[in-house]
A and B are shown apart, each in its own frame.
Chain A
Amino acid sequence: MTNATTISEPSSNTQQQKSFEQQQSEMTLKTVLGRRGLERLDLLLLVVESLDLNGGEAMLWTTQQLGLQEQFPNRVELWKRRCHNPLRRATRRGELSAFDAEAMLRLLCSMASRLYPLLHQLLSSREPEELNLQRWALLDQRLRDLIEERMNPRRGAVQRLLQQEQSQPIQRELVFSLALAAGDGGIDRLRASLLDPTP
């Protein structure tokens, strides 16, 4: 029976799997992020840094784990890519190359998978309410500090992130997005969302 199966033609199932993968890889090649995509990608990385006190070092370590050390040999190179975000104080002109964008996406999704237990705690309604409020307050404080330090406060989008009433639902959506970006299929989902057109 084994012999019979080895000489059988490739199944339609395998062909479908291949076409699915091909289509997904075509999407990967098109990862030239627009302004909104760059803003969101950097903001999600900022949330990762807020969740992980040693986030900068962890990102560098993760790039080595992912085999991206040629692209991001040190913190400065990573910072230079992130400075394509137009909301930054020190922003860089030009668009991020598809190769760099894909590397940053992989880095972000890997960090989201690593921090998934924390994200789960924050999003779960079964956690003790008071404890969860403290966790959200801590995240809010750290994120606020990072935004004030790195983002241009004259921008409306940055001001919205710093206003208490408006920032809370945005932070919740960002944490939920990170949770959905974690895991095996998260990168495809996040990539597609970052490529969304501006409404």
Chain B
Amino acid sequence: MLNLSFRYDQTAVRLQVEGLPDFSAGHGDGILGIISGWRLQLVASPELEGKREHLQALMATVLPYARHRISGVKRAFGDTASAVVISPDGDKHQLLLRSSQPNIPPLTLHLDHAELADLVRCLDALRLDPRVQVPWELPIDHPLPRKELAERVPLSQRFGAPFIGGTALALIAGLSLLLPVPRSSEGTLPPANSTTPEQTQSSSNR
């Protein structure tokens, strides 16, 4: 049986994938089509290993997270039921891994920017490696919707200008209500020096 092993190295991360060619899918000898196992070594962290499903879960979580981070959007990926959860943690990134075996507590890793970039490069290298023909079900890198991008702008910045504008409008409207309304001509005396056209005409005849 032809066992294949590919390794992807970066400064702080080493990913090793093992498997076999999937001859039923028409793969040649050097093509890995069935993943039997993988190992991930992160500097100063315990070694991780698992099956194809776990690697798929890792890729499906970490790569969209990186896609959002490059656009400046900081949000968590994965939920309480996911095998992998990644979330921003100050200047770092918290990677939470849940084992599929019972009675094993979840493992939490804190990655800095450099380690995350290394991990992303290793995962990219694996998914784009022509020697690995595994159908990764990963989302395509699309531009983010406007709503998600709006969330990266702080609330004060987002609503500051409309709030100041609305307040200014309300203030001006309130002040204008305080101004005295000009009285109507009935019940008021005409100004002392005002003269009607008729009066002017009669005075000139004299």
Contact = CB atoms under 8 A, between A and B. Distances in A.
B7 interface: no
Nearest to A7: B26
A8 B125 CA distance: 28
B156 to A, nearest CB: 15
A11 B67 contact: no
B134 interface: yes
Interface in A147-193: 173, 176-177, 179-186, 188-193
Nearest to B64: A189
Contacts of B178: none
B141 interface: yes
A24 B134 CA distance: 18
B135 A192 contact: no
A123 to B, nearest CB: 4
B127 to A, nearest CB: 7
B172 to A, nearest CB: 27
Interface string B112-137: 11110110110011011000011100
Given A179-B113, A179-B114, A189-B70, A120 B142 contact: no
Residues of B in contact with A, size category: 35 or more
A20 interface: yes
Nearest to B43: A126
B56 to A, nearest CB: 13
Contacts of A176: 69-70, 113, 117
A1 interface: yes
A173 B113 CA distance: 10
15 contacts: A4-B23, A5-B26, A11-B26, A13-B22, A24-B140, A116-B121, A117-B11, A120-B117, A124-B112, A125-B114, A126-B114, A192-B142, A193-B143, A196-B149, A197-B145
